[in-house]
Structure 1
Amino acid sequence: MNEARTVLVIGGGAAGNAVTLLLRRAGVDVNLIEAKEDWNATAGSGITLQGNALRVLRELGVWEQVEASGFGFGSVGITAPDGTVLHAQDDIRSGGDDLPATVGMQRPQLQRILIEAVRASGASVRLGVTAEITAQDAHGVSVRFSDGSEGRYDLVIAADGLGSTTRAAIGITAKPEPTGMAIWRVAAPRPTGVERTDLAYGGPAFIAGYCPTSDSTLYAYVVEANRDRASIPPESYADEMRRLASAYGGNWPEITEHITDPAQVNYTWFDRMLVEGSWHRGRVVLVGDAAHCCPPTLAQGAALSLEDAWVLTQILTGSDTWDDALFQQYYERRIARVRPVVEASVQIGQWQLDGVRDADVPGLMGRTMTMLRELP
């Protein structure tokens, strides 16, 4: 890529931050805007990062900070509702044998690490700003910003998440659809002895699980059938999650006693979406949740978003011509990898909703994670 380029990235989450860092490393002039005034607001309680996510974070140059801030582990336990461990198995190292299979960390910590790296990269960052695409042609995109300024860019990358307004504005009609499940999440102190993710199946919920996120913290979650969110007042969130979690034994009683502040409990429906055909219109390209989303049953949401950024940057920096054929190449390379993950993530949840007792969940998980060991 010999010609100087200017790129606008809309959205400062994992995908937007990652593509900004990678393009800046390649010498591209990047402007990043984020609609929130507080870049790290509502970043969530915790996140499970599989090896293929860690592989991209290493490419971003932030692996050492992630390793120091998070909690690495290599197995998952299956327990009965009373806490009895029924089975423990090693996780597949989807990022390669030189990285942990999994790292759990506090989601705000990951965002902080990425924010600091973006600021250090020399990218232009504006917060509390949104964008409207006013025109585009074969050479670039004209944009008007909510602060009254305007700009012209060689490419716009829409990383503005599940409810992407950019996706809708460029005529892509795909929207997230609920799968029928919902999840309660909370951050809590880590009980002594919690060294991995444990998942309890059965009881009043489909799954009750937790993931260590540092030497002293974890995040816990309970998955149930989705309910009308309007029927659950936010001030009751702690009571509702505590009611469900109190049915579980093992480490759960110690975790449950910390579920007291409703403002620290998050309730979210599981959604699915996969944009078909292409992830671009002209010189506006989708990455991350703006292009696809899936339930966290395989913990691949952030990983797929980070991979999008990595692959798109490779394709952009490897060509002097940015055109429909190049952007379609990005789509075709990603769809072959993203589709099976979305479908497997949805299928695992559907088996639970349907009460299928002989479902081959370990087999489907194993096949999918083995596929993810390959470079994207």
Structure 2
Amino acid sequence: MPSVSTVLVVGGGTSGNAITVLLRRAGIEIDLVETEPGWNIRGSGITLQGNALRVLREIGVWDQVLEHGFPFNTLGLTAPDGTVLHIADEFPAGGADLPATLGMQRPALQRILTDAVRASGARVRLGCTVKSLTQDDTGVEVTFDDGATGRYDLVVAADGRRSATRAMIGITDRPESLGMGIWRAPAPRPAGVERSDLTYGGPCYIAGYTPTGDNSIYALLVERQRDRDSLEHLDLAAEMRRLTDGYGGHWAQIRESINDPSQVNYTVTDRMLVEGPWHRGRVVLVGDAAHCCPPTLAQGAAMALEDALVLAELLNTRDTFDEALLTEYHARRVPRVRLVVDGSVQLCRWLLDGVADADVPGLMARTMTALGERP
């Protein structure tokens, strides 16, 4: 019998949707609230490595993910002119029966997960979030911003790196900028693109692309962070095209497809790992609310999914809810998350500092080998 009967999930992103489905499987009553009326069905592309795919399979959506994604098992390293310098076999961190990596359109993944939440029987309220909460020994009283109230055995804060719930319970950790900016845009898949290719150097720190389906890719460029005010009056598509001018190979075709500014996304890199417990009483953090890092290892979604899996496993299999349960969740997650956060930040800093002899392949290989163990 599960250790809790009623749970509020705050946030309908990757971790919030995942834990909702996993807890509903054990018969726990779930309310999920998401501040975005459109449930965050947006974005360009996402790279999911084997340990993320393993969790998606356990959630029960692997077949849909495979149908809408593009699996591959190698990573290409190219020169700025497009010359392929090296093709590396990627480590199958989810096991030999799953691809090492799968690219897909981020909106497609979100639709798959939100459909699974709906099918689970969870109660979903969009355009709504928590206004305040009060805890006692047996539960959490919650007031929502639409005036409604509720009482729950547990609140799961899955409301992202700027988590308001985290602040409400007195955890003061905040994301810190690392000084890198990332451009992303979807594009048609050029013939011959069968894997992620990355170029270190040229006009940007990194230029890369990942297939996200039979007919699509997403392209990314990593440069030094800009002041957002400097982007306000730019044509983002024209600026991203300009940054690709120094790259050859498939970039010639990709460049021609970057025409719609509304499809270009610019974000900055942050780093956060909540030090100390990830809970206060009966409110617990998952995903980006507890940790975030640069996408240099492509492990952000994987870590969020693993959080959901481990916390759901403990809640679904323990007869009683107590402090030890949430302490065990934290103890199981911190070593893996710290490995990813530290490694991602190290890669970022090597690039910013121009370290020519940085052991990028070695760091990546060591990290993925460690992540091959189950969380």
What TM-score, normalized by structure 1, do the two folds share? 0.98
In 1, Cα distance between equivalents of 2:344 and 2:264: 23
Read off the aligned partner of 1:108 and give its amino acid letter: P
Read off the aligned partner of 2:124 and give its amino acid letter: V
Could you tell me whether the CA contact under 8 Å between 1:184 and 1:268 is conserved in 2? yes
Moved over 2 A (4+): 1-4
Which position in structure 1 is the counterpart of 2:6?
6
* Inter-CA distance 348–291: structure 2 relative to 1 (3 Å threshold): same
Which position in structure 2 is the counterpart of 1:371?
370
Is the aligned partner of 1:283 residue 2:282? yes
Q: How far has the Cα of 1:234 moved from its partner?
A: 5.7
Is the aligned partner of 1:172 residue 2:171? yes
Q: How far has the Cα of 1:132 moved from its partner?
A: 2.6
Could you tell me whether the CA contact under 8 Å between 1:234 and 1:262 is conserved in 2? no
Could you tell me whether the CA contact under 8 Å between 1:197 and 1:209 is conserved in 2? yes
Could you tell me whether the CA contact under 8 Å between 1:53 and 1:304 is conserved in 2? yes
SS in 2 for 1:257: helix
Is the aligned partner of 1:350 residue 2:317? no
Can you give the 5+ residue segments of structure 2 that lack an aligned partner in the other structure?
Answer: none
Which position in structure 2 is the counterpart of 1:55?
54
In 2, Cα distance between equivalents of 1:78 and 1:312: 37
* Inter-CA distance 4–161: structure 2 relative to 1 (3 Å threshold): closer
* Inter-CA distance 342–4: structure 2 relative to 1 (3 Å threshold): closer
CA deviation string 1:329-350 (max 9, x = no partner): 1111100110011000000110
Could you tell me whether the CA contact under 8 Å between 1:235 and 1:262 is conserved in 2? no
In 2, Cα distance between equivalents of 1:128 and 1:2: 29
CA deviation string 1:324-371 (max 9, x = no partner): 221111111100110011000000110111111111111111010000
In 1, Cα distance between equivalents of 2:356 and 2:98: 34
In 1, Cα distance between equivalents of 2:126 and 2:13: 12
Read off the aligned partner of 1:17 and give its amino acid letter: N
In 2, Cα distance between equivalents of 1:46 and 1:312: 27
Is the aligned partner of 1:242 residue 2:250? no
Is the aligned partner of 1:81 residue 2:71? no
SS in 1 for 2:208: strand
Could you tell me whether the CA contact under 8 Å between 1:235 and 1:263 is conserved in 2? no
SS in 1 for 2:246: coil
Q: How far has the Cα of 1:133 moved from its partner?
A: 3.2
Which position in structure 1 is the counterpart of 2:224?
225
Alignment of 1:94-109 (within 5 A): 94-109=93-108
* Inter-CA distance 304–4: structure 2 relative to 1 (3 Å threshold): closer
Which position in structure 1 is the counterpart of 2:30?
30
SS in 1 for 2:185: strand
Q: How far has the Cα of 1:23 moved from its partner?
A: 0.1
SS in 2 for 1:277: coil
Q: How far has the Cα of 1:144 moved from its partner?
A: 0.4
Which position in structure 1 is the counterpart of 2:135?
136
Which position in structure 1 is the counterpart of 2:65?
66
In 1, Cα distance between equivalents of 2:316 and 2:67: 31
In 2, Cα distance between equivalents of 1:351 and 1:155: 41
Deviates more, 1:320-329 or 1:243-252: 320-329
Q: How far has the Cα of 1:146 moved from its partner?
A: 1.3
- When the two chains are superposed, the root-mean-square deviation of aligned CA atoms in Å is 1.0
Which position in structure 2 is the counterpart of 1:20?
20
Deviates more, 1:137-146 or 1:229-238: 229-238
Can you give the 5+ residue segments of structure 1 that lack an aligned partner in the other structure?
Answer: none
In 2, Cα distance between equivalents of 1:127 and 1:212: 31
Is the aligned partner of 1:120 residue 2:119? yes
SS in 2 for 1:36: coil
Which position in structure 1 is the counterpart of 2:294?
295
Could you tell me whether the CA contact under 8 Å between 1:48 and 1:211 is conserved in 2? yes
* Inter-CA distance 243–142: structure 2 relative to 1 (3 Å threshold): same
Could you tell me whether the CA contact under 8 Å between 1:133 and 1:141 is conserved in 2? no
Could you tell me whether the CA contact under 8 Å between 1:131 and 1:143 is conserved in 2? yes
In 2, Cα distance between equivalents of 1:138 and 1:71: 48
Is the aligned partner of 1:44 residue 2:38? no
In 2, Cα distance between equivalents of 1:255 and 1:2: 50
